[in-house]
Chains A and B, each alone.
Chain A
Amino acid sequence: GAGVSQSPSNKVTEKGKDVELRCDPISGHTALYWYRQSLGQGLEFLIYFQGNSAPDKSGLPSDRFSAERTGGSVSTLTIQRTQQEDSAVYLCASSLKRTWGSYGYTFGSGTRLTVV
């Protein structure tokens, strides 16, 4: 597609429920990233995909968080047993990678997750 698409744009869930957030990157972008941004804060790195593998998942806050990417395209971030501190905007970005560095990221509009 023309841009990075994230769904849903907003999600309200009850504490303890599982949620799935979806990211559809730009076609041909091999690198995909998930970030989390709490209200008024900077971006917190969660996980990086190159193709279908995740060389860096060091930012996932706990084992309740997992992510996968299939076909080198769509990625899903899953949060199990949601807690109120999981409330944030979850941002996905994709980029082209070259040996000398990237061109910069294209971000989706994010999913605003509210855990009540």
Chain B
Amino acid sequence: SQQGEEDPQALSIQEGENATMNCSYKTSINNLQWYRQNSGRGLVHLILIRSNEREKHSGRLRVTLDTSKKSSSLLITASRAADTASYFCATENSGGYQKVTFGTGTKLQVIP
């Protein structure tokens, strides 16, 4: 079963606008990661936020984590057509062998 659930499932915005995607999860985690997937092939790791962190930035990406609500958000500022892709959150469990489970993904379309 999926640990993470992304919201919305699909998002369409104009180039230059900001895009916000949300992820909710169920169990205790070591970290939460965001990935991008183009054209249904390999995923690219974007950013990792640890459970003791609340916010992290990388270029035009901003990730927040609220462990009390078991939720995270990914903000892409000043979007570009090249940002069109599917975005997945993944959570690494704090117990066992630290299994990473992927969510269902958000399909982002940035219209030029």
Q: Write the residues of chain A forming the contact surface with B, with a CB cutoff of 8 angstroms.
A: 4, 33, 35, 37, 39-43, 45, 48, 50, 55-56, 89, 91, 93, 97, 100-110
Contact = CB atoms under 8 A, between A and B. Distances in A.
Contacts of B35: 105, 107
Interface in B34-59: 35, 40-45, 48, 50
B40 A108 contact: no
A107 B42 contact: yes
- Count chain A CB atoms within 10 A of each CB in B90, B98, B99 and give the residue with the most: B98
Interface residues of B, number: 25
Given A40-B40, A45-B102, 12 more contacts: A35-B102, A42-B2, A48-B97, A50-B97, A91-B42, A102-B92, A102-B100, A104-B33, A104-B45, A107-B45, A108-B42, A110-B41
B interface majority secondary structure: strand
A interface majority secondary structure: loop
